[in-house]
């Protein structure tokens, strides 16, 4: 059985490395995507875009996720608000990602026009991804907080700590590795999402800038959407680019996971 499961996995990895590495060069990180009959080119703007969009999503979902998890873990079992919040998070974690995109489209692309801005942007993409990340972070963080042994918290209370002091000094640090793992998983998932970005960040053939300044309010390229766009193109070079982009995306996610693991291992030892 294990073998059967390993065959597709390894064939995907093999294809990815084999086809992706052919085009991999320094240029892909620094150049803009090629047009139809152009040779060479790269997807530097999509890498920056993915990092920006996922960064915005993390900026929204990490604080809310952790604060929510603290609330849920401290609320007692009869607290209705906590129960419905937990239920909502569970439902939301199985939410089709395309619907998160539709929601962010409605709220950020169309809805925000009411206040005089809106449109396809990195921020709209970040909001869409944060909807997917929030429940994952919330539920894993709550679980990690629950795993902190009761006797450790009692020790803190027994020393004359308030509940805030106990949370900040004992419970959160002890749960940190688990919380970080949850964040990394959520980031890894969000980085690979295409559907929600199609409605929100859209795509761009240019850098995430306007008038020489970083501009988060314009359509933004991302690796996932680039792969999606280029892989269905009839032009050889663009198809090759999408393979290279896929490899870079996988390496990026892997890299983030490794950082997460290193950080959490460090914090256990401390």
Partner 1 sequence: MNVHHSTNSLETPESRGAQSGVKPVENVIDCDIQELYYGTFKAVRDTRIPIEKNAITAFIGPSGCGKSTVLRCLNRMNDLVRGFRFQGHVLFLGQDIYAPAVDPVEVRRHIGMVFQQPNPFAMSIYKNVAYGLKLNGYKGNRDELVEQALRRAALWDEVKDKLHKSGLSLSGGQQQRLCIARAIATEPAVLLMDEPCSALDPIATRKIEELMLQLKERYSIAIVTHNLQQAGRVADKTGFLYVDTSQGGRTGYLVEFGETERIFKDPQEAHTKEYIRGEFS
* Strand ranges inside the chain, DSSP E: 209-210, 213-214
Interacting residue with partner 1 among 29, 117, 157, 255 (CB under 8 A): 157
| Residue 161 DSSP code | -
Least CB distance to partner 1 at residue 65 (A):
22
Question: Which parts of 54-113 interact with partner 1 (CB under 8 A)?
Answer: 76
Q: Rounded distance, CA 127 to CA 107, Å?
A: 9
Least CB distance to partner 1 at residue 79 (A):
12
| Residue 111 DSSP code | G
Interacting residue with partner 1 among 51, 99, 161, 239 (CB under 8 A): 161
Least CB distance to partner 1 at residue 88 (A):
25
| CA distances (Å), origin 195, targets 18, 21, 65, 97, 227 | 26, 26, 23, 7, 12
Binding mask of the shown chain, residues 131 to 150, with x at each position contacting partner 1 by CB under 8 A: ------------------x-
Q: What is the dihedral of CA 90, 95, 97, 99, to 10 degrees?
A: -130
Interacting residue with partner 1 among 155, 233, 259, 262 (CB under 8 A): 155
Interacting residue with partner 1 among 174, 181, 220, 237 (CB under 8 A): 174
Q: Rounded distance, CA 270 to CA 265, Å?
A: 9
190: which 2 tokens?
A: 């969000």
225: which 2 tokens?
A: 């959407």
Which of 39, 78 has the CB closer to partner 1? 78
Residue 24 interacting with partner 1 (CB under 8 A):
no
Q: Rounded distance, CA 197 to CA 41, Å?
A: 23
Which of 81, 155 has the CB closer to partner 1? 155
Least CB distance to partner 1 at residue 145 (A):
13
89: which 2 tokens?
A: 């998070």
Residue 269 interacting with partner 1 (CB under 8 A):
yes
Interacting residue with partner 1 among 27, 74, 173, 185 (CB under 8 A): 173
Least CB distance to partner 1 at residue 173 (A):
7
Residue 152 interacting with partner 1 (CB under 8 A):
yes
149: which 2 tokens?
A: 């042994």
Outline where 171-235 has alpha helix (H).
172-191, 195-198, 223-231
Q: Rounded distance, CA 233 to CA 50, Å?
A: 21
Residue 169 interacting with partner 1 (CB under 8 A):
yes
Beta bridge partners of 213: 210
Which of 161, 217 has the CB closer to partner 1? 161
Query: Which stretches of the chain bind partner 1, using CB under 8 A?
Result: 76, 149, 151-152, 154-162, 165, 169-170, 173-174, 268-270
């Amino acid at each position: 059985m294990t073998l059967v499961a390993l065959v597709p996995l390894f064939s995907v990895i093999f294809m990815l490395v084999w086809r992706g590495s052919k085009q991999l060069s320094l240029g892909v990180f620094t150049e803009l995507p090629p047009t139809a009959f152009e040779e060479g080119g790269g997807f530097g703007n999509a890498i920056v875009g993915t990092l920006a969009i996922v960064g915005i999503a993390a900026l929204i979902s990490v604080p809310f996720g952790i604060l929510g998890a603290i609330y849920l873990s401290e609320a007692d079992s009869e607290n209705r608000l906590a129960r419905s919040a937990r239920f909502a998070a569970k439902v939301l974690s199985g939410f089709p990602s395309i619907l998160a995109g539709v929601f962010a489209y409605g709220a950020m692309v169309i809805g925000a026009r009411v206040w005089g801005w809106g449109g396809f942007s990195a921020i709209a993409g970040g909001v869409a991804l944060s909807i997917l990340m929030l429940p994952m972070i919330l539920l894993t963080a709550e679980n990690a907080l629950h795993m902190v042994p009761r006797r450790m918290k009692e020790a803190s209370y027994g020393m004359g700590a308030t509940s805030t002091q106990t949370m900040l000094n004992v419970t959160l640090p002890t749960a940190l590795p688990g919380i970080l793992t949850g964040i990394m998983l959520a980031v890894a998932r969000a980085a690979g999402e295409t559907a929600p970005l199609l409605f929100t960040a859209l795509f761009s053939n240019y850098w995430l800038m306007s008038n020489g300044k970083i501009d988060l309010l314009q359509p933004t390229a991302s690796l996932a959407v680039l792969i999606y766009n280029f892989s269905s193109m009839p032009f050889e070079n663009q198809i090759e680019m999408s393979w290279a982009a896929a490899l870079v995306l996988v390496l990026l996610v892997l890299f983030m996971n490794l950082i997460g693991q290193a950080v959490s291992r460090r914090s256990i030892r401390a």
